[in-house]
A and B are shown apart, each in its own frame.
Chain A
Amino acid sequence: EPEVTQTPSHQVTQMGQEVILRCVPISNHLYFYWYRQILGQKVEFLVSFYNNEISEKSEIFDDQFSVERPDGSNFTLKIRSTKLEDSAMYFCASAVGQGARNEQFFGPGTRLTVL
């Protein structure tokens, strides 16, 4: 069964460093998402991406964040200069279509720890 994969499973970085979180969505999916969950808090939407453009982003997704689909398979989230408060579990999701009727399939997450 096709699944969304994410690498690495755990990333430890120093404050101020750049990190890139990688996701491989399901191959025929066209819509891509990043969510995050700070420990003990809700899963929060960060950004949605379609046709090589951001279609929606939350207020969390500031200039320190960027997303890219560098090739036909990967979908990445870059944090330019990490802060302590960026420590969280980051989930990638993909969907074949847009809107609530199209299930978003989630990856297992990348746990980011900023020291």
Chain B
Amino acid sequence: AQSVTQPDIHITVSEGASLELRCNYSYGATPYLFWYVQSPGQGLQLLLKYFSGDTLVQGIKGFEAEFKRSQSSFNLRKPSVHWSDAAEYFCAESYGNKLVFGAGTILRVKS
């Protein structure tokens, strides 16, 4: 069965530091992968997506993610975190017409 794993429930980083959020997927030779962010009281906003082609994808708000087939991973990165990045981040994989989500990683940013 398809599953998406986000090993880190919480991550705390200092403002200005780099960030990497981990995600592992389990389904498909050619997965469709997504990262969403949810700020308090807000819906899930799409940060970026990977379908095929270049394994490094750029998204909004300065985020990027790298697809690594050999590791079944799709980790989200940002070189310098801002306090406004504090939120919950969800990795997801498309399976047919639905999204399968990871459990989410809560990012805290300390000043």
Q: Which residues of A contact B (CB under 8 A)?
A: 3-4, 9, 31, 33, 35, 41-45, 48, 55-56, 58, 91, 93, 98-101, 103-109
Contact = CB atoms under 8 A, between A and B. Distances in A.
B46 to A, nearest CB: 6
B97 A56 contact: yes
Contacts of A42: 101-104
A99 B46 CA distance: 15
A101 B32 CA distance: 8
Which size bracket describes the interface of B in this complex? Answer: 20 to 34
A48 B51 contact: no
Contacts of B104: 42-43
Contact of A56 (B92, B94, B98, B100): B98
A103 B46 CA distance: 8
Contacts of A44: 101
B60 to A, nearest CB: 12
Nearest to B39: A108
B51 A43 contact: no
B26 to A, nearest CB: 13
B101 A100 contact: no
B102 A45 contact: no
B43 A43 contact: no
Contacts of A93: 44
Contacts of B53: none
Contact of A100 (B44, B45, B94): B94
Contact of B100 (A9, A45, A55): A45
Contact of A107 (B36, B43, B92, B94): B43
A104 B94 CA distance: 11
B97 A108 contact: no
Contacts of A99: 94, 97
Contacts of A98: 97
11 contacts: A42-B101, A42-B103, A45-B100, A48-B98, A99-B94, A100-B32, A100-B94, A103-B49, A105-B43, A106-B36, A108-B42
